[in-house]
Structure 1
C-alpha cells in the first residue's frame, strides 16, 4: 500500500460522523472565489453570480438517487420527473428568484426502456411548463447502481430583492408557507403499503384516505406562487430558505447564518388534518413530524415587523415565531408556555436517517 493511502486508512473518518452539512463545511474549507462575477459560493440554497447591472444570476444543483431519495416500487416515473424539477425550482424560490433554465443529466441502467425514460421526461416537461423554465441540455450515461437524476438550475433575481439564509434581524417575524409534515407522513403510508404488498401480493394498496399526504410526497410543488405574491405586495424577506430537511433544521440554518436565535410557537405550526390524523394512526407525534419530517418544499422566511400588515390576511402564510438574542437559544414555545430547546433531527443524506 502506498504511504499516503495507508495514512488515509489509519485516519479513516466515517462520512456519517459529519453529516451532509458538516461534510460540506469540511470540503469548502480554504475555497476562495477568484472570479469577480462570483458573488456568493457554497452555503446557501443557490450560488449568486453577477448577471447584469440590475440582476444577480442564481445557480443550484441537486441529485436524486434510487434507493436513497426514491423507491421505484411505488413512485411513478412521471411523478419522479416532475418532482426532480420542482425541488430544484424550490432552491431558486428560496433566494426570492425566478428560474429560467435547467439542465438534466440521467444515469440509466439497462433495465430502463425508452418508454420509461420518456415517462420521466413527460413529468419534467410538465413541471417545466408549470414553472416557465426551459430545459436546455444535460447528459446521459450508464449507471450500474440504479437510476440517477442530476439537475442544475439557473435563475435570476433583482439585486435589491435577493434573499439569503443570513440577514434576519432581531424581532423579525418568522413565517412558513403551506402546511408541514405531510410529505413525511405520505412516505410512511407508502412504505407501509409496500411492506403489506410484499407480504401478500394479492393485497391492493389502501391509499384513498391518504390522497393529500401521498400527493405531497410524490409530487411536491415549489412555491413560486408565494414569490410572485411577495413581489406584488412589495415584501422582501430579510432571510429565506426552503423546507427540504425539516422545519427545525431550516430554522437552525437561518439562526446560524444570521447570528441570532429562533423562537417558534407550537400552536402556530401549520399542519393539515390528514397529516395530524395519520401521525396519530402511526403512533407518531404530529409536532415531531412537522419539525423533522422534511421534503415539504415550503418556504421559511423572516420579514420586518412593518411588513406584517401586508401579509396578515394571506391564507397560506403563517406567522410561527420570531428572531431573538436571548441566551436561551433556539426554542420551541409549547402550548403551555414552556420553552424547550429546538433540536433538528431531520433527514441526513449521508447517515440516511
Structure 2
C-alpha cells in the first residue's frame, strides 16, 4: 500500500505499539501534543539528533528497511554513549514520498524499535509528513549522565593514553563488500548494516575516570582531530598497536591498500575513541573490547601516525563530509 492510500494517521496508528521499554521514566508517550518524561535529580540531560536521507545515507542495494531504522537508532544512541551517558527517550520525524511503500516505512520503524528495545530507549513521539524529495528520517534522542561527569572532546590532557573500543574499519569494508556483491565478509557486512553502540563501555570508561571521548562515526582520523583541536593537544597513534579484524585485513590485501585507510577514513563503526590518565591504564586495558593505540603529547593541535619504522605521518581531519566534493 502506498503512503497516500494509508494516510498519515493510519500510519501512525500502525507503528505506535511496542514503543515504551522503561515506564519508570515516561509520564505520557505517543498520543498527545507533547510527550512527558521524568528527568532524574542529580543528572544532566543530553540531547542529540541525526538525520538519514535516502541516496545519501542509505540505499536499497546495501541496506534493508529494518536496518535503516536500526542504524539510525545506533547513530543517536552512540552520541549519548560518547558522553558517558545513558540513552532514555527518542522522537522520530519522517518525510515520506506519497507513492512510497507504507510497509517499507513500517519495517524501518521495526528496526528502530529493535535497537531501542535492546537499550531500553522509549520512542515517545514524532511527526510524519509528505515530501516530493527522497525519504528522510530524523531522530532526536534524550539521555542523561550524572552531573559534572559527562565526557567532552575538550578533556584530553598531555600524558593521556589514547584508546578505542573493539575494532574499526569494519563498517567501511562491509559497505564495499556489499557494493561489490562480494561473498563472505559476514562480520563486516553485519557491522555496516546493524552497528552496535557502545553504551556499556562508555559508562565504564566515564566511571573509571576517562578524560575525553568521541564516537567514531566519520572515521578515526576525523574524530581524533576533533579531540586534539578541542583540547589544544597533539595526538600520536602507534601503527603497530592497532588490531584489525581479519576480514578488514583480508579485504585490504585484496584491494592492495592499507587497512589503516578504512580505520582512519571509513567511518560508521560507531565505536568509541577516548583518552585516559596513566593511573587507570591497567584497569581500562583489562576490559574486554579495549585497544590502547597512542598517547596525547604537547605540541600544536593535530594527529600523527608513528610508523613501525619510527616515521611520523600527519593524519588530516578527513572522513565523511556532507558538503565536500
TM-score calculated relative to the size of structure 2: 0.84
Is 1:263 the equivalent of 2:270? no
Is 1:223 the equivalent of 2:175? no
Measure how far apart 1:270 and its partner are: 3.0
Aligned residue in 2 for 1:5? none
* Aligned 8 A contact 1:163 1:236 in 2: no
Aligned residue in 2 for 1:170? 158
RMSD, matched Cα: 1.6
Is 1:346 the equivalent of 2:301? no
* Aligned 8 A contact 1:269 1:290 in 2: no
* Aligned 8 A contact 2:228 2:301 in 1: no
Aligned residue in 2 for 1:154? 142
Aligned residue in 2 for 1:298? 271
Is 1:191 the equivalent of 2:164? no
Question: Please, which of 73, 81, 88 is the counterpart of residue 85 of structure 1?
Answer: 73
Distance 1:52 1:81 in 2: 28
Is 1:73 the equivalent of 2:65? no
Q: Secondary structure at the match of 2:145?
A: strand
Measure how far apart 1:258 and its partner are: 0.5
| CA distance 1:91–1:72, change in 2 (3 Å) | same
Aligned residue in 1 for 2:8? none
* Cα deviation 1:63-83 (Å, max 9, x = unaligned): 011111111233100111111
Aligned residue in 1 for 2:292? 319
How many residues in Structure 1 have an aligned counterpart in Structure 2? 287
Aligned residue in 2 for 1:54? 42
Measure how far apart 1:114 and its partner are: 2.4
**Structure 2: gaps of 5 or more residues:** 1-38
* Aligned 8 A contact 1:291 1:344 in 2: no
| CA distance 1:262–1:147, change in 2 (3 Å) | same
* Aligned 8 A contact 1:167 1:258 in 2: yes
TM-score calculated relative to the size of structure 1: 0.78
**Structure 1: gaps of 5 or more residues:** 1-50, 194-205
Q: Secondary structure at the match of 1:62?
A: strand
| CA distance 1:116–1:310, change in 2 (3 Å) | same
Aligned residue in 2 for 1:242? 215
Measure how far apart 1:117 and its partner are: 1.6
Q: Secondary structure at the match of 1:267?
A: coil
Q: Secondary structure at the match of 1:160?
A: coil
